């Protein structure tokens, strides 16, 4: 299974006085793809925000690479090796693709290393290479998704969290996105936490999965067992 890279212990969060996440515990193992599934409004993005530190924990702990990061500011969590790739997050529509990639890599201070990383990104995401001067806001949905993934991947994070990368994309682009997810894991050994609505695809690329409903983990298990899980067939919003 590999070592544990992320452990969430009995996490509670709320929006104002309204409880959101309730007693969430989960574990992500190194070099695995772990998926988090659940209906709209279940708390998936909230959980991601709690991990990266834009939503506060009321109770519980978030342990990353053996260290308690529960109360660290977001930039420290990023510096420790967590990146979130999410369609809208972290890209600047009025700036070019290249500027977006450079801003995403703000932790890389060595210009030579950055140039090398950019080359690697252009190789992995050829769709971006031809559009370096284009403003991010004018990219197609699929291209913007690739940019958001590339912006996170350029940092070679120890944990890449993806929030519904296939959302709103045509089937052929969805296939491309899942191909990238698989390749990042298999060829680069990247640990990925994948939040998805495309249940079948998410289970097909992941080893282990959690199902969240109304702010609680209601089921977890190896992905091949989750395929038959009732909670996925009849989700409760
Ligand atoms: N900043 C906020 N203030 C108040 N309520 C919020 C805030 N952000 C999210 N919520 C509420 O928390 C609940 C969970 O939202 P969240 O975005 O985590 O769901 P999700 O599982 O990611 O859903 P989706 O699949 O639609 O993206 C929703 O009812 C949402 O309206
Ligand atoms: Mg969400």
Which pLDDT score, from 0 to 100, does residue 227 have? Answer: 86
Find, among 186, 227, 233, the residue nearest to 213 by Cα: 233
Cβ neighbours for 19, distance < 8 A, ≥ 6 positions apart: 12, 13, 215
Average pLDDT over residues 52-77: 97
| Model pLDDT for residues 148-182, shown as the tens digit of each residue | 999 999 999 999 999 999 998 999 999 999 999 99
pLDDT band at 233 (very low <50, low <70, confident <90, very high): confident
Going from the C-alpha of 111 to that of each of 107, 108, 116, 153, 211, the distances in angstroms are: 11, 8, 9, 17, 42
Distance CA 189, CA 40 (A): 30
Going from the C-alpha of 215 to that of each of 56, 86, 109, 188, the distances in angstroms are: 15, 20, 39, 32
Kindly give the distance from the C-alpha atom of residue 75 to the centroid of ligand 2, in angstroms, as a whole number. Answer: 21
pLDDT band at 87 (very low <50, low <70, confident <90, very high): confident
Mutate to test the pocket of ligand 1, among 11, 19, 21, 45 (most ligand atoms within 8 A of CB): 45
pLDDT band at 88 (very low <50, low <70, confident <90, very high): low
Long-range Cβ contact pairs of 64-68 (< 8 A, separation 24 or more): 64/5, 64/6, 64/159, 65/5, 65/158
Which pLDDT score, from 0 to 100, does residue 91 have? Answer: 86
Q: Whose CA is nearest to atom 7 of ligand 1?
A: 15
Which pLDDT score, from 0 to 100, does residue 232 have? Answer: 80
Average pLDDT over residues 49-71: 98
Q: What angle do CA 70, 3, 157 make, to 5 degrees?
A: 60
Which pLDDT score, from 0 to 100, does residue 58 have? Answer: 98
Q: Whose CA is nearest to atom 2 of ligand 1?
A: 15
> 186 pLDDT exceeds 90?
yes
Where is 176: in which H helix or E strand?
Answer: helix 171-188
Which pLDDT score, from 0 to 100, does residue 22 have? Answer: 98
Inter-residue contact 8 to 52 (CB < 8 Å): no
Burial of 132 (0-12, 13-18, 19+ CB in 10 A): middle
Average pLDDT over residues 18-26: 98
Distance CA 115, CA 56 (A): 36
**Average pLDDT of the residues of the chain:** 94
Inter-residue contact 30 to 2 (CB < 8 Å): yes
> 237 pLDDT exceeds 80?
no
Distance CA 98, CA 133 (A): 7
Mutate to test the pocket of ligand 1, among 12, 15, 22, 54 (most ligand atoms within 8 A of CB): 15
Which pLDDT score, from 0 to 100, does residue 236 have? Answer: 76
| Model pLDDT for residues 191-231, shown as the tens digit of each residue | 999 999 899 999 999 999 999 999 999 999 999 999 888 87
Distance CA 174, CA 200 (A): 12
């Amino acid at each position: 299974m590999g070592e544990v890279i992320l452990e969430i212990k009995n996490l509670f969060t709320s929006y104002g006085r309204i409880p959101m996440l309730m007693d969430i515990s989960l574990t992500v193992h190194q070099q695995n793809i772990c998926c988090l599934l659940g209906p709209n409004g279940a708390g998936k993005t909230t959980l991601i925000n709690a991990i990266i530190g834009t939503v506060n924990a009321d109770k519980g702990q978030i342990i990353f690479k053996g260290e308690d990061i529960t109360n660290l500011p977001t930039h420290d969590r990023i510096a420790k090796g967590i990146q979130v790739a999410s369609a809208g997050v972290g890209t600047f529509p009025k700036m070019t693709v290249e500027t977006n990639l450079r801003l995403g890599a703000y932790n890389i201070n060595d210009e030579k290393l950055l140039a090398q990383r950019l080359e690697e990104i252009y190789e992995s995401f050829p769709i971006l290479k031809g559009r370096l001067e284009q403003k991010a806001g004018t990219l197609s949905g699929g291209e913007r998704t690739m940019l958001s993934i590339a912006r996170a991947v350029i940092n070679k994070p120890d944990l890449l969290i993806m929030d519904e990368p296939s959302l709103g994309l045509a089937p052929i682009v969805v296939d491309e996105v899942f191909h990238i997810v698989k390749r990042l894991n298999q060829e680069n050994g990247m640990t990925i936490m994948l939040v998805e609505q495309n249940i079948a695809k998410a289970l097909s690329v992941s080893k282990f999965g959690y199902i969240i409903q109304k702010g609680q983990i209601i089921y977890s298990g190896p992905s091949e067992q989750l395929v038959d899980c009732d909670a996925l067939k009849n989700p409760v919003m």
